[in-house]
Amino acid sequence: MPGQRRPATMRDVAQFAGVSVRTVSNVVNDQPYVRDETRRAVKDAIAALGYRPNLIARNLRRGSTNTLALVLPRLTQPYFAELADDLLTAARDRGYAVLIDPTDESDTRSVQDVFAQLAMITDGILVDPTHLAGRVDLTSLPVPVVALTSHSGRHGEPVDRVAMDDAGGARLATAHLLESGRTQIAAVGLPPAAVTGPTGRLRLAGYLEAHREAGIDVSPRRLLAANGWDPSEGYRVMSETLDAGIPVDGVFAFNDYMAMGVIHAISAHGLRVPEDIAVVGFDDIGFSQHTSPPLTTVSPGRRRIVEAALDMLLGRIDGTRTGATEVAVVEAELVLRGSSVTKADPEA
């Protein structure tokens, strides 16, 4: 239920305290040159009237909102949920509120409009641009933008970026499988998955590179495309492969969430993980510690990505960072767990 009284304004406070509006403003904003006595009188008035500065009016006047926007596809993808969680907390600790905008295929709005609107009501925008496929020009917005992305922006817009090391992480994951003696390693999650195309290509590149380095051939039968990076696709793709009798002794799934479905398919076929097929994922989402068996995965350094992106964005906002756009790459790390290592063979 909305309260009934009109909220007190600065004018009310000024009248109550017997000073000018301007003085109240000075007190509220901790300006110097206010006598202690006056300051206290104003503070008393503020308390008595339950006054709170109207943030909208302040935003209009100051031209800033202390709000950031985060644009992503879907929070149902656990990696994004955890990324959003980290960002929400980090932004909150720095005094910023966060508006999350989901822009996936189901969105009928013009992407450019969405960004223009967000730019108007926020001080800066963080965006995962992979799913936007260049449908938006991020360079002409009136607020700074930082892209959370992987795909080399060579063909993209010159925006600040924080990238995870997709190819490098994928190489680590694949190399680990190869070193533990697997030679028939399936890659799960190739395009056409529309929203993950560029990321998928980079992770594939890492997979291929690891094979090249090990001198082991790659069979196209084990390069498995998925329509979306979720467990049901992991399940479907893996089931079909096993049904087709294609030999597989290891799987590198392009994300953990799909890997869940892969593991499910493997056990549904009466095979064991990791004895028959070792599985490695990517993302290190919370769940991955508690699958059966726990999932070996690549940690992309989510926390560091968030911090770096916030540093960049806030730097642009407060003007301490100027000049050419930058790209920060956060190193990926392999996290060994039971899905790729038997207890008898701890390796690490």
Partner DNA sequence: TCGAATCCTTGCATCGTTACAGGCGCGTGA
Partner DNA sequence: TCACGCGCCTGTAACGATGCAAGGATTCGA
DSSP letters, 14-56, are HHHHTS-HHHHHHHHTT-S---HHHHHHHHHHHHHHT----HH
Q: Which is nearer to DNA, 18 or 247 (CB)?
A: 18
Q: Which is nearer to a copy of itself, 247 or 286 (CB)?
A: 286
| Partner from DNA, a copy of itself, none binding residue 235, C-beta < 5-8 Å depending on class | a copy of itself
DSSP letters, 271-299, are --TTTT-EEEEES--GGGGGSSSPPEEEE
DSSP helix, strand, coil percent of the chain (3-state; round to 5): 45, 15, 40
**67 three-state secondary structure:** strand
Using the contact rule CB under 7 A, the part of the chain among 55-63, 161-169, 240-248, 287-295 near DNA is 55-63
Q: Which is nearer to a copy of itself, 201 or 321 (CB)?
A: 321
| Partner from a copy of itself, DNA, none binding residue 261, C-beta < 5-8 Å depending on class | a copy of itself
**Contact footprint for a copy of itself (CB under 8 A):** 1-3, 7, 52, 54-57, 59-60, 65, 67, 74-76, 78, 81-82, 84-85, 88-89, 92, 97-102, 106-107, 109, 116-117, 120-121, 139-144, 158-159, 230-232, 234-235, 257, 260-261, 263-264, 267-268, 286-287, 289-292, 294, 316, 325
Minimum CB separation of residue 76 from a copy of itself in Å reads: 5
How far is Cα 281 from Cα 286, in angstroms, rounded to an integer? 12
Q: Which is nearer to DNA, 31 or 292 (CB)?
A: 31
Q: What is the CA radius of gyration of the chain?
A: 26
First to last CA, the chain: 59
Which phi and psi (to 5°) does residue 201 adopt?
A: -65, -40
| Partner from a copy of itself, DNA, none binding residue 230, C-beta < 5-8 Å depending on class | a copy of itself
Confirm or reject binding of residue 60 to DNA (CB under 7 A). yes
Q: What is the DSSP letter of 7?
A: P
Sign of the alpha-carbon torsion through 247, 253, 256, 261: negative
**Interface positions with DNA (CB under 7 A):** 6-7, 9-11, 18-23, 25-26, 28-29, 32-35, 37-39, 51-54, 57-58, 60-63
